């Protein structure tokens, strides 16, 4: 099979790029383009389609339903809403996958672990399925503050069963792969770590110390618990007391934030109550189109990442690709992109004082910030160029297809935590 053209399908939560502020959509778009450049045939199965006339390599993951199925679905939703949703999603994925197999000779399907949909899809499609660990609920859901009730643990179990059922597993970071192995007690001996690809940024379009605003900071992310928008605001309040000219761009939608006492905050409420003395120096830009972000990255002296957890962190990788100096919390996949003191600065998670100290060190020494940003750009090209990631991905896909082709009869023991 070596050297042959591959035809693969990727499940995406939405399509096209820009229709949703979702890292999986960005990943699918970038890896797909890189695979095409190398002569392969990727296609997309999209659950939420924002195109009336999608191209022939994009399939709507939505199955047509007979009147009987519609009635059954209504009853199912009444009895078990969560499982009804899972089965409805799975039907759509199976429908789109079969169309892709028939029209484009798709050889394998890569999809996220979410809701354990792999467990429902795999028995109904004749090709191997790869589970891509974009954000397992046992860690990402817990970090985001989802109530850890019966529905939470049911979803977690379903995702574990889906991962167990998959023909192969890949992960964008070593951290999430090891966490998954340990949580579910799955060996995942043949699982691989393949980072997400980053953008390719020409030298002339990168951040420059000469053209950036030395008094401007940038945060890109939702205002929610996972992305740590509250931590970024708390840190900025501390920084602003030392640097009276500094301002913060906060770019991202307001999804609300529950604190430790379960008080629900909007971003405006949080700024007004927790940072009133510097509120006029925080510019909340809400969600911005992808096309607006490069200019913001070039203009800000420092990009701040305050996440409580990240499976990977496209924000960190995109900032690195632009050569933007980065201050980030040392969590999950972030710490695999940012090396403290080499291409950015890492701070302890959930520590506004430590984050503020790191930001202040770059505001006080812009030349050092530029040195870190330059190395980040070099590392982004060397480690995360889409063509490099596509070569790793293709080698993995070929190994999966060979393994499935030569598979011997035998069923591994089911892990105890699944």
DSSP 59-110: EE------HHHHHHHHHHHHH-HHHHHHHHHHHHHHHHHHHHHHHH---EEE
Torsion-angle region of 74 (φ positive above 0: left; ψ -120 to 50: alpha; else: beta): alpha
Q: pLDDT-derived band of residue 252, with 50, 70 and 90 as boundaries? A: very high
pLDDT for res 409: 44
pLDDT of residue 383: 97
**For the chain, what percent of residues have pLDDT higher than 70?**
92
Domains annotated for the chain, with CATH where assigned, are 7-197+386-405 (3.40.50.2000), 203-383 (3.40.50.2000)
Please, are residues 250 and 232 in contact by the beta-carbon 8 Å criterion?
Answer: yes
Contact 322, 297 (CB under 8 A): yes
Look at residue 75 in the predicted model and tell me its pLDDT.
61
Residue 18 pLDDT class (50, 70, 90 cuts): confident
Q: Per-residue pLDDT averaged across 172-193, rounded?
A: 97
Identify the residue with better confidence: 1 or 7.
7
Please give the structure tokens belonging to residue 249: 């761009």
The confidence score (pLDDT) of residue 12 equals 96
What number is the average pLDDT over the span 134-152?
Answer: 94
Q: What is the pLDDT of residues 42-78, one digit of tens each?
A: 999 998 888 888 999 999 998 665 555 555 556 656 6
**pLDDT tens readout for residues 88-128:** 899 999 999 999 999 999 999 999 999 999 999 999 999 99
Model-level pTM greater than 0.85? yes
Give the largest CA-CA distance in the chain: 69
Q: What pLDDT, in 10s, does the model give residues 219-234? A: 999 999 999 999 999 9
Q: What is the pLDDT of residues 264-319, one digit of tens each?
A: 999 999 999 999 999 999 999 999 988 999 999 999 999 999 999 999 999 999 99
Phi, psi of 146 (to 5 degrees): -60, 135
pLDDT at 413: 46
Q: What is the mean pLDDT of residues 123-148?
A: 95
pLDDT of residue 232: 98
Q: Evaluate whether 259 touches 229 at the Cβ level (below 8 Å).
A: no
Nearest to 340 by CA among 321, 361, 322: 361
Task: Write down the pLDDT at residue 74.
Answer: 64
- H helix runs in 105-194, sequence order: 117-121, 137-144, 150-165, 174-184
Over residues 378-389, the mean pLDDT reads 98
Instruction: Please give the pLDDT value at position 395.
Output: 97
- Residue 357 C-beta-side C-alpha neighbours within 13 Å: 7
pLDDT for 79 beyond 80: no
């Amino acid at each position: 099979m070596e050297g042959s053209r591959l035809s693969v399908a990727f499940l995406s939560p939405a399509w096209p790029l820009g229709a949703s502020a979702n890292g999986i959509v960005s990943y699918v778009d970038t890896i797909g383009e890189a695979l095409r450049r190398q002569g392969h045939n990727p296609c997309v199965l999209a659950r939420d389609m924002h195109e009336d006339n999608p191209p022939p390599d994009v399939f709507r993951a939505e199955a047509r339903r007979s009147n009987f199925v519609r009635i059954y679905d209504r009853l199912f939703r009444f009895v078990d809403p969560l499982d009804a949703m899972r089965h409805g999603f799975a039907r759509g994925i199976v429908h789109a996958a079969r169309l892709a197999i028939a029209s484009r000779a798709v050889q394998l399907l890569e999809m996220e672990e979410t809701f354990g949909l792999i467990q429902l899809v795999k028995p109904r499609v004749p090709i191997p399925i790869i589970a891509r660990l974009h954000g397992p609920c046992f860690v990402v859901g817990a970090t985001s503050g989802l109530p850890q009730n019966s529905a939470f643990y049911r979803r977690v179990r379903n995702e574990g069963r889906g991962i167990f059922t998959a023909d192969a597993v890949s992960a964008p970071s070593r951290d999430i792969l090891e966490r998954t192995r340990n949580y579910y007690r799955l060996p995942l001996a043949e699982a691989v770590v393949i980072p997400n690809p980053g953008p390719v940024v020409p030298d002339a379009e990168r951040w420059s110390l000469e053209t950036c605003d030395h008094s401007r900071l940038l945060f890109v992310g939702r205002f929610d618990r996972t992305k740590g928008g509250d931590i970024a605001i708390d840190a900025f309040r501390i920084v602003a007391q030392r640097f009276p000219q500094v301002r913060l761009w906060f770019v991202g939608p307001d999804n609300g934030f529950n604190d430790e006492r379960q008080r629900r905050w909007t971003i405006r409420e949080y700024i007004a109550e927790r940072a009133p003395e510097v509120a006029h120096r925080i510019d909340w830009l809400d969600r911005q189109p992808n096309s607006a972000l490069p200019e913001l990255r070039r203009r800000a002296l420092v990009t701040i990442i305050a996440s409580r957890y990240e499976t990977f962190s496209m924000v960190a990788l995109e900032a690195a690709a632009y050569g933007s100096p980065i201050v980030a919390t040392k969590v999950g996949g972030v710490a695999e992109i940012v090396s403290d003191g080499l291409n950015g600065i890492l701070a302890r998670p959930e520590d506004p004082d430590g984050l503020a100290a790191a930001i202040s060190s770059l505001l006080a020494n812009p030349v050092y910030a530029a040195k870190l940003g330059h190395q980040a750009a070099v590392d982004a090209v060397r480690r995360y160029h889409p063509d490099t990631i596509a070569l790793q991905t293709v080698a993995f896909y070929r190994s999966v297809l060979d393994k499935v082709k030569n598979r011997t009869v035998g069923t591994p023991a089911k892990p105890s935590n699944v």
